Structure formats: structure tokens, C-alpha cells
Structure 1
Amino acid sequence: MLNRKVTYRLYPNVEQEARLQETLGLHQRLYNTALEERIRAYQETGKGLSFADQCKVLTQWRKAVPALAGLNAQSEQVTLKRLHLAFQHFFRRVKNDETPGFPRFKNIHRYPGWGYKTHGDGWKLHPSQGASPGQPGAHGKIYLQGIGLVPMRGKPRTAGDPVTCEILHKAGKWYASVTLEMETVQRERGTEMAAFDWGLTDFLTIATPQGVETVANPRHLRNQLTELKHLGQEVARKIRMAQKLSGKQKGFPVSGNLRRAIQHLSRLHAKIARQRKDFMHQTSAWLVKRFGALATEALDVKNMIHKGGAHKKGLNREIHAAAPAAFLKMTRTKAEEAGSWYEEAPTREIKPTQRCHGCWKLPNVKKTLSDRIHRCDCGACCGRDENAAKVLLRWLEAELTGREPSEMRSGGSFAAMKHETHTIAG
């Protein structure tokens, strides 16, 4: 069975909005109280509390606090589970000599939401009567315990059985992220072959046996930088004024004017994030729909932005804004759903930005990042990204030779894919 998520936008009325806010506040306080109990128990006994221990304590809290008793018990366990996972990740980082990052107390404005474990226990989907066949989860309403039936919009690409649900609060809007369980995921796949190089000047440079194409970089963040700077300065100015009037650096009263300015800024950030995600989903779906065999290079984004200092700040921002790791993950997932070839070339072995696509030789003098034109002694001359895409295409052609269609490499590991042989246009 496969799991896929679908996100619905919720449209609560005034009364439901108040109940949602109250429920969010209760889960936030439950999380903080459970964290406080873990810290206190360790300071007193030298031993921490486990998830099972806190679930037992939760039963006592529900008897003593009527507000907690009104919430769904399984959703409260999900909140405790999140805290447990935060500590598990903390211990893992300590063990691996990484920056530990001890679990922090959550502010209500930074608490994302809460979850439910089982469909029908505290929540249930009620699709609209006019939902099309094969899309039982299209639009309609969602029932939430203590809140009622909340109208929603959205539909899954592939129908499935609802399993779990998360209620999210982002930039003043409410969402329901539902996990669906399904037997198979049907996605159309292409018959052509291509390799692409990710970049910033052009988002993708695609090399095919017929030629080279490019996909423009939409630069959603850069287009809004002026407005983001203006809104950020306005929020900072109002925060300084509130601190000055109250005489407090922390815990100062937040006026309605300041709250609206913060909400305006967060909504613009959320809009940019939605635009970026939508573009990457559409582009990755287009690639898989058109090409039956795809290749690119494995990217280490962390190392790409690790060094450089202040003078590289703008470049690092553009790399983050383009989200290459998320895009490659989307493309890999969609290729697996369609049963297509997807290959990530080992960058340190192939060196596609350095190697010549014509003679397959490395240059005597290593090209720097500012060298945007590839020139080789063999006579090959083209753009740097175009050369990298052609190198990857040549590598893919060699990889496909003598391989079985049931073998597909994603990020260096092989996974068995059960599908029939399909024609790849050469």
C-alpha cells in the first residue's frame, strides 16, 4: 500500500474559527507542559520520561482539566508523540556530534497545528454530493470533534482511503493535510530520453537527442524582494515602538496594528512558497509526462551554500529560493510512480560541469563558477549548463545500455520497479 497526502483549504465560520483557535492553544499548552515535565523529571531523578509515561500522565491531566477532556484523546497523543520525536532527533544529533538543538517551548504564533491518528476518531471526511466518480475526497466538508462540519476545498489526484489528518494554521488560514492509503498510483509517462542540468540563470537546461531546451527560472522570491523588504522594515519599526512604549524587550503587548503588519508579511511569504511549490510540481510532472528516461546530477545543496561569506549571500538566497533538493525529490517520486527511468549521476566521478561532452576529457585548468562558456581543445564550444546537460545525456545513454527495465537507480540505490518494458526514443 502506498501513502500520499492531499491538502484541503478549510473555510470555517466565525464560531468555528474561535473553536479552532482555542483547540490550537490547548495543543500548544499541552506540548509546552509535557516538555516542562520532561525537564523537571530529568532534573529531579536524572532520568527522562518516555512517550508511554507521558500518555499515562495525560490520562490524569484529562481528569483534572475539563478543557483537555473535551479534546480528542488520540489527537493529544499525537502532540505528545511529536515531542517524543523531537527528543529522539535531539539524542541522535548528540550521538553524531552534530549541533544538538534541544527541543524548545513553542509560541502560539509558531505552533503549526495538531493531528489525528485514525479516520473516524475525532475527524471524518464528508465529500460533496456532486463529487466526480473516482474522486470521493473532492471538496465537501470535514468533521472535527468539538468544532463541527467545516467546509473545505481540494481533491486528491488519485483516490484513496483516508488514514490520518493534520490541521494546520498558516498565515491566518486553515488547512487539513490528509494522508490517503492507495494500492497503486497511476501517472502517465513519456517515451523520450533526456538529461537536465539544474541552474539559476535557467532553472533547467534539457538535452535531448534532438537538441537543447531550457526552462526559465521564475524567480518568485526576487520579484517580491522589494515588497518583502518594505513589509519587514515596517514590522521591525512597529516592534521597536511597542518595546519602547512598554519598556520591555520581550513580552510586550502586541497591538492590532502590529498584528496586521505581521500577518501581511507572513501572507506574502506564504504566497511565494505556494508559487514555488506549484511551479516545481508542474515542471516535474511535465518532465515525467514527456520523458521516459531522465538523468541529472546528484546535488549536495548543503555544501553548495556552506562557504562564501557575506559576498555570497545573494547567491545562497537564490539557491534556497529555487529549492533544488525539493525539485529533484518531486521528480524522482513522480518518475517512480510512472515507472520511468530516473538516474542521478555521481557528480564527483562524472564532473559534468568540467568534463567536455565532445571528447569526454577534463580540462587542464579547472573552470570556476564565473566561467559560463565551455571551450575545449577538441573544438566544442557552448554554454556551461548546456555542456553539463549533454554530458549527463551521454552518461545516461551508456547507463541504459544492457540494463533491465526493472532496475532503476534513484540517488545511488537500486529499487525494483514492476512495469513492462516501454520504448525510449533515441
Structure 2
Amino acid sequence: MFVFEFKCLGKPAQYTAIDEAVRTSQFIRNKCLRYWIDNKGVGGYDLNKYTARLAKEFPFANKLNSTARQASAERCWSAIAKFFENCKKKVPGKKGFPKFKKNQRSVEYKKSGWALSEDRKKITFTDQNKIGTLKLSGTRNLHFYQLEQIQRVRLIKRADGFYCQFCISSDLAKEDIKPTGKCIGIDVGLNHFYTDSNGEKVGNPRHLRKSEKALKRLQRRVSKKVKGSKNRRKAINRLGRKHLKVSRQRKDFAVKLARCVVKSNDFVAFEDLKVRNMVKNHRLAKSINDAGWYLFREWLKYFAIKFGKVAVPVAPHYTSQECSNCGNKVKKSLSVRTHICKCGATLDRDENAAINILVKALKMMGNISNTVGHTEINACGEMTLYLSLETVLKQGCSRMQESPSL
């Protein structure tokens, strides 16, 4: 399952109709959540049936397509199911009790309520919301996929306009790339975005920090406007566009860098960081969020599947403290950026951690299998088999023997 996104081009009346559909979807979701809270033993199927009662009770809810109402109920149930799952796993802290939506930005259709044109460049919504026909602007080509493969259609409102997403059920097309015979360990940081086991560093772009001055200026303009006025809405939109640009810059950097790393190496080891816990440190939270480590990690996994490479997450415990040469622990604070050990090893702190990450990943993969490889289940529920690990492990072992720092 993957997603193609297009920008929707239409008239102001159509954009208003999309807004009404989004508000209706939010209303149905909140009503389903209230119904679940007030009635014990309610399940996902009961919430789907409840949407039909809401359509009879509220005329504006009946304007929305029935599958879109069911999709709103499924969104509500997914939040409820995640809350139960966290309770069973005894996740520390808050368990994520479902909350009522206040500013929902999307509405989702299933198999009905929409129709694509023959050239696949226009989409028509056929429910009673009167959205009509919207032009699709984008670089993706939908001709390669059958209509039966499109499982969901999403309309999303962003600061710079409306977008249409197509959720397509299909196997990820793998690209044949010649093996490079290289393996690498990656240690992410704040001074540099990452340092690899070869000592190479990639600078941290700090997109939010660079745009912070402009964001503060736009925020002041919002504060000066009268609440509820058109000028305030315009100022909010300008602020939202700036935030959207920063998020897109961060994503573009993560995607391009992850693609380059995976294509250049057959084996990539990276830290399995719990970013949600790390941002609890209020001194570093803004810098950690600005770096986008989680986004980079997810794209590493995606490109590993796409190019048939191996990407292994490694627990980050003691990777900075252990010596990559002798294995002894050398305690150091975050301000100490050079690793100095009694055995004579002196190298950059992040490079030492990257080497330890690579060694741990190779040992872990060696324990799993020496010839065949390992399987991994991705976010879509598809099982991926990584093959040809024998050569990678041999190259990793030879690298460990030849490198004086290991």
C-alpha cells in the first residue's frame, strides 16, 4: 500500500464544499467517540451501524457518502484500539485515551462516492456535498494501476490549498541495483545530522532555526490582528504556509539523504531511538524535532525494501560509552566530543558510536542467519525477505579485521 498525492484545482464554491465535508466527517467521528464512551461493549462494527443512524437524524450528515461516514467511524475505532493496545502493553505514562477532534483537515472516501475521468487527470465526487469535478495537478501517473487497486481517496486541506491522495494497494516495485559491497553504521546527532562509521559527516540543515526569525515576525502579525477578522485569517494562512514550507524542506532532506545512503551501501545500521521520550528534555526538544531523525529512519526502511538492501535498527544503549577498539566503557558527558581510551584509541565521539552500531548490527544479523538473511514486516503488513547477506557479513568481518580502530 502506498500513496500518490495530487493538488486539487477547482472553484471557491468547490473548496467551500470540501470544507463542509471535512466538518461533517469530524462531526461523525466525535459522535462515534461519544457513543463509545456512553455505551459499554461497543465495537467497531457497532460504530459503523451508528453512522447510518446519524445520517437519518442529521440531514447534513446524510449528504456525505456512506463509505466516507464509515471511514470516519473507522478512524475513531483505530484510536480506541490503539488505546486498548497501549493498556495491554502497559506503556508507561499516558495511554493515549481518544480525544475529540477540534480541527480536522481531511475527509476519506472508500470505493464509492468518487469517479476518475478517462485520462485520470480529473476526479468527480458524486455525493450530495456538491464538490463536483476537480482537476488533479501532479507528476504521478495513475494509468499504471487499475481502479480496483485504489482502496481509499482522501481530500486534505493544507495552508496552500487542497490535495487529493490515492491509497493504492500494490506491491512495491523493486529496482535492480548492482551491489556496492559496502556496509555502514550511522550515528545521528545535533551538531552534525549524522556521522558514519567511515568518519564522514553530514551537516545538520536546521530548517526551523533558519526560518525562526520569519516565523516570529509572522506570529507577531497574527497577534496584532482582531480576532475573527479576515485580516487575521490571512495572517494565519501566511504563518501556516511558512510552517508548511519548513516541514517540506525537512522531508525533502530526509528523503534524498536516505535514498543516497541506501543506494551507496548494501548494509545500513542505524540507531533505534525513542524520539518521543527524548523530546521530553525541554532544552533539546526543539533541536531534536527540527532534525527529523524519525523521518530519516522511516525513509531508510522504505528505500531498503525498494532497493533490496538491508537496514537494521540497533539499540543505542552504551554505543557512545563503549570503546570500538577494546570494548571498555569510557564514561563521558554530552559536552565531551572526543573519545579517548586507555588502549590508545582516540577518535571522534560520534564516529566511535557509529562503529559500535555497525558492529552490533553485524553480530545481530550473524546470529539470525549467516546465509539466507532475515524477514521483516513493514508498516503495510507486507513481509520482506532480505537475501544475499553472506557477502555483506563477510565484508563486514573483513572490515572489522582490517580497520585499526575496531
1:212-238 residue CA offsets vs partner (Å, 9 max, x unmatched): 322221111111111122222332343
- Residues 343 and 410, structure 1, Cα contact 8 Å, conserved in 2: no
Q: 1:321 to 1:125 in 2, by over 3 A?
A: farther
Say whether 1:417 aligns with 2:382. no
Q: 1:51 to 1:207 in 2, by over 3 A?
A: closer
Uncovered stretches (5+) of structure 1, i.e. residues with no partner: 129-136, 243-253
User: In structure 2, what is the equivalent of residue 331 of structure 1?
Assistant: 300
Opposite residue 79 of structure 2, the aligned amino acid is A
Distance 1:369 1:157 in 2: 48
- Residues 309 and 386, structure 2, Cα contact 8 Å, conserved in 1: no
Distance 1:62 1:395 in 2: 56
Opposite residue 295 of structure 1, the aligned amino acid is A
- Residues 72 and 122, structure 1, Cα contact 8 Å, conserved in 2: yes
- Residues 113 and 169, structure 1, Cα contact 8 Å, conserved in 2: yes
Distance 1:333 1:68 in 2: 38
Opposite residue 294 of structure 1, the aligned amino acid is V
- Residues 48 and 74, structure 2, Cα contact 8 Å, conserved in 1: no
Say whether 1:227 aligns with 2:201. no
Distance 1:232 1:375 in 2: 46
Q: TM-score, normalised by structure 1?
A: 0.78
Opposite residue 203 of structure 2, the aligned amino acid is A
Among 337, 340, 365, the alignment partner of 1:375 is: 340
Say whether 1:81 aligns with 2:70. no
Distance 2:261 2:194 in 1: 11
User: In structure 2, what is the equivalent of residue 132 of structure 1?
Assistant: none
Distance 2:43 2:316 in 1: 43
Among 121, 131, 141, the alignment partner of 2:122 is: 141
- Residues 375 and 386, structure 2, Cα contact 8 Å, conserved in 1: no
Q: Alpha-carbon deviation of 1:280?
A: 0.8
Q: Alpha-carbon deviation of 1:5?
A: 1.6
Aligned residues: 377
User: In structure 2, what is the equivalent of residue 134 of structure 1?
Assistant: none
Distance 2:279 2:49 in 1: 45
Among 234, 257, 272, the alignment partner of 2:231 is: 257
Q: Alpha-carbon deviation of 1:141?
A: 2.0
Q: TM-score, normalised by structure 2?
A: 0.82
Q: Alpha-carbon deviation of 1:324?
A: 1.3
Q: 1:419 to 1:92 in 2, by over 3 A?
A: closer
Say whether 1:287 aligns with 2:261. yes
Q: Percent identity?
A: 28
Distance 1:409 1:28 in 2: 35
User: In structure 1, what is the equivalent of residue 150 of structure 2?
Assistant: 162
Query: How big is the alpha-carbon RMSD for the aligned residues of Structure 1 and Structure 2?
Result: 3.0
Distance 2:79 2:362 in 1: 44
User: In structure 1, what is the equivalent of residue 4 of structure 2?
Assistant: 6
- Residues 344 and 409, structure 1, Cα contact 8 Å, conserved in 2: no
Q: 1:409 to 1:83 in 2, by over 3 A?
A: closer
Distance 2:266 2:245 in 1: 33
- Residues 188 and 338, structure 1, Cα contact 8 Å, conserved in 2: yes
Q: 1:270 to 1:394 in 2, by over 3 A?
A: same
